[in-house]
Chains A and B, each alone.
Chain A
Amino acid sequence: MKKIFEYSAFQIVEKIRNGELSSLEYINALFDRIKEVDSKIHAYLTVAKDMALDEAKEIDEKANKGEHLGSLCGVGMAIKDNICTESIRTTCSSKSLSNFTPSYDATVIERIRKEDAIILGKTNMDEFAMGSSTEYSFFGPTINPYNDERVAGGSSGGSAAAVAISEATASLGSDTGGSVRCPASFCGVIGLKPTYGLVSRYGLIAYANSLEQISPIVKDVRDLAILLNCIAGHDERDSTSLKVVKDDYTRFIGNDIKGLKIGVPKELFGHGTNKHVLKRVWDAIHVLEDLGASYTEISLDSLEYALASYYIIANSEASSNLARYDGLRYGFRSDEVNDWSDTFSKNRREGFGQEVKRRIILGTFALSAGYYNKYYLKAQKVRTLIKKDFDKAFKKFDILASPTMPILPFKLGEKLKNPLEMYMCDLDTVPANLIGAPAISVPCGSYDGLPIGIQFIAQPFKEGSLIQVSYKLEESLQD
């Protein structure tokens, strides 16, 4: 029988609503679980136990009085440490923000709180979300729950590992080039990057603002629909938030997929892809075929430029976004030397880790006089080319399928010496960010105990199609 902390969010909501479960008992069970496993996994940077227990008591009181309980009532959630939480330290896994406590909640936090979710704490990540393994954290790496010698993926490694090992029932991460789908794949859970502009970025500490979206990580597809219902929707405080009519994503649960057309881009099944990953992904595509979908292998030529284009754009935006960390009004401040310029440079030398420095320098280069046209402008034009290729594909296909990650979860330290090798891990995930399309990673089996994920990409605002196909796959693989 399942233990309390292992339940899915929709089961918790149901049990609290019909009085079968006390919110306090369940939240206490989650904190016991954190105490039991987190010294090994290191998913959390900060736990907010007192606040969470008080909120759990309030929910129990509301339940006893028969008052309205929100769609996430009592659900214990972990939040990536680049999403601002009022009165809870928010570090971005950086020394430069290690003492930073926001004075306001991000919009997504307001929204999940309004639906009675409970925040358990803040999770580990690659510093400023720059990385694919959570090893670039100032506070040390998160460990893969399935194998203690391997990485959890990144940059939202803490959020994915916490859900995988039931230290949280659901979590929020952020996805700039695969930062939610990668750790979801490596940890055997579900991660969805929504359409750009669907979820408010207000209170998300910016890394690459034209690419990133706050993204849910969950144990099953039903939870995803409930959580997305809560966080999606226009926010006037974010100029990149779109005014779209809100959908009810739960209505896609259980719909059959007869006639669904799947495109399989060969560029996302490249030569370097691990053969066990290929096998499981193809097996999953055949499962969908058995359920009435059809697939066609296609070619999207421009995808060979996607990774280079992505990293040029992401690093350029990072170099501009991270210029604000001068250590004056908040953040790490070193001892004063000479003048403003030297002090500023020293604060940043001591406050930032190596990968952050590398990306800022690369971005500064790509934006600098003489190189702007060759790198930054060209990368943005390539983005248009890639978008055109996808637009064409989506005229013929409802969704595209591929491996989420071309490789299995790798060993800790394996890719730290060669940053380019780390970048290559993102080959299959970055295209969705470049074009602003929604993309999901769903578990589709494992090899040697290591989880493997399949990625589905849909055209913007077709999260419903992703939920529909993912639910059917999940249902079939559970049988």
Chain B
Amino acid sequence: MKIEKSLSKMEIKHLSWLAKIELTKKEEDLFSNQLNDILSYFQKIDEANVEDLPPTYHVIDISNVLRSDKSRPPNPEQALKNVPKLKGRYVKAPRIV
């Protein structure tokens, strides 16, 4: 079986940007080898003949469950108790632009 070298370090950098996970230089080097080994193994599915088959995204038929739109008493303390950085009753977010 032909094994393609699938991921360059540049691509891993790009993927880490897409996934919003900063990687250290050491992790980039380590992942570059490990991920290529794993992807070579994943290429095993290339051999499978599935041309006429539909994908199975889910083994059961699922549909959205809707509940009635009833208001409940607010509980801001509970909602905010796990927030790491608060300013008063506001969640402190980093600069966006």
Interface residues of A (CB under 8 A from B): 99-101, 103, 196-197, 210, 236-240, 242, 302, 304-305, 307-309, 311-312, 319, 323, 326-333, 336-346, 348-349, 352, 354, 357-358, 360-362, 364-366, 368, 374-375, 377-385, 387-388, 418-420, 423, 435-436, 460
Contacts and interface: CB of A to CB of B under 8 A. Distances in A.
A94 to B, nearest CB: 13
Contacts of A348: 19-22
A388 B94 CA distance: 50
Contact of B60 (A312, A326, A364, A436): A436
Contacts of B12: 361
Contacts of B21: 345, 348-349, 352, 357, 360-361
B10 interface: no
Interface of B: 7, 11-12, 15-24, 27, 30-31, 34-35, 37-39, 41-48, 50, 53-60, 62-65, 67, 75, 78-79, 81-85, 91, 93-97
Contact of B16 (A361, A377, A460): A361
A332 B78 CA distance: 18
A378 B67 CA distance: 35
A101 to B, nearest CB: 7
Given A330-B84, A339-B95, A364-B18, A382 B50 contact: yes
Contacts of B93: 328, 340
A377 to B, nearest CB: 6
Contacts of A354: 27, 30
A364 B78 CA distance: 33
A364 B15 contact: yes
Nearest to A383: B56
**Pairs A-B, 5 closest by C-beta atoms:** A436-B59, A380-B55, A330-B82, A333-B84, A381-B50
Contacts of A332: 84
A155 to B, nearest CB: 18
Given A305-B48, A354-B30, 20 more contacts: A103-B81, A210-B57, A239-B64, A308-B43, A328-B83, A330-B82, A330-B84, A333-B85, A339-B96, A340-B95, A341-B20, A344-B94, A345-B22, A348-B19, A361-B21, A381-B50, A381-B54, A383-B56, A419-B37, A460-B59
A246 B24 CA distance: 51
Contacts of A327: 84
Nearest to A236: B65
A311 B55 contact: no
7 contacts: A304-B44, A311-B38, A330-B82, A330-B84, A358-B31, A362-B38, A460-B59
Given A343-B94, A380-B57, A381-B55, A311 B64 contact: no
A382 B37 CA distance: 21
A418 B36 CA distance: 12
A166 B51 CA distance: 51
Nearest to B17: A345
* Most chain B C-beta atoms within 10 Å of own C-beta, residue among A196, A358, A366, A381: A381
Contacts of B27: 354, 357
Contacts of A349: 21-24
A340 B97 CA distance: 8
Contact of A308 (B41, B65, B67, B85): B41
A389 to B, nearest CB: 11
A331 B35 CA distance: 27
Contacts of A381: 48, 50, 53-56
Contact of A364 (B19, B56, B84): B19
B53 A384 contact: yes
A361 B85 contact: no
B69 to A, nearest CB: 15
A420 B37 contact: yes
A312 B57 CA distance: 12
B4 to A, nearest CB: 10
B80 to A, nearest CB: 8
Given A103-B81, A336-B94, A345-B20, A358 B50 contact: no
Contacts of A460: 59
Contacts of A238: 65
B58 A210 contact: yes
A421 to B, nearest CB: 10
Nearest to A351: B21
A349 B64 CA distance: 34
Contact of B55 (A328, A333, A339, A383): A383
A135 to B, nearest CB: 16
A304 B34 CA distance: 21
A378 B35 contact: no
B35 A328 contact: no
A145 to B, nearest CB: 31
Contacts of B30: 354
B56 A384 contact: yes
Contacts of B47: 305
Contacts of A357: 21, 23, 27, 31
Contacts of A330: 82-84
B56 A387 contact: yes
Given A101-B81, A330-B84, A380-B57, A239 B34 contact: no
